[in-house]
């Protein structure tokens, strides 16, 4: 698989996913040896994702060198100021021991 084919497969997966309402390419760069894709994805439940992936072509095929995403609720503010969405629970480090 070439880097162009890999990038096309990502776009196809986003277009065919039943939970993706739409997506926008924020940045895309591809060479014969590597590629970078950053997208904003609107989900059918109103949430959205910012995702980025950097990949390289190796003798064994495409390898993801770096990947990150941020998932954001589409319904801010939270219903109660004392309640955080569950996906943030693990990111909060207690200030006291």
Classify domain 3-91 at the CATH topology level. Answer: Nuclear Transport Factor 2; Chain: A, (3.10.450)
Characterise 14 by phi-psi region: left (phi > 0), alpha (psi -120 to 50), beta (else): alpha
Domain limits, the chain: 3-91
Q: Answer whether residue 5 shows pLDDT above 90.
A: yes
Per DSSP, the residues of 27-58 read EEEE-SSEEEEEEEEEETTS-EEEEEEEEEEE
Rounded Cα distance, 67 and 64, in Å: 7
Rounded Cα distance, 7 and 13, in Å: 10
pLDDT in tens, 15-66: 999 989 999 999 999 999 999 999 999 988 888 889 999 999 999 999 999 9
* pTM for this predicted structure: 0.71
């Amino acid at each position: 698989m070439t880097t162009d084919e890999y990038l096309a497969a990502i776009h196809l997966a986003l277009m065919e996913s039943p939970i993706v309402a739409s997506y926008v390419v924020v940045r895309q760069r591809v060479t014969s040896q590597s590629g970078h894709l950053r997208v904003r994805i609107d989900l059918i439940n109103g949430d959205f994702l910012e995702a980025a992936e950097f990949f390289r072509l190796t003798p064994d095929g495409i390898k993801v060198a770096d990947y990150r995403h941020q998932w954001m609720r589409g319904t801010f503010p939270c219903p109660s100021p004392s309640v955080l969405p569950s996906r943030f629970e693990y990111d909060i480090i207690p200030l006291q021991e």
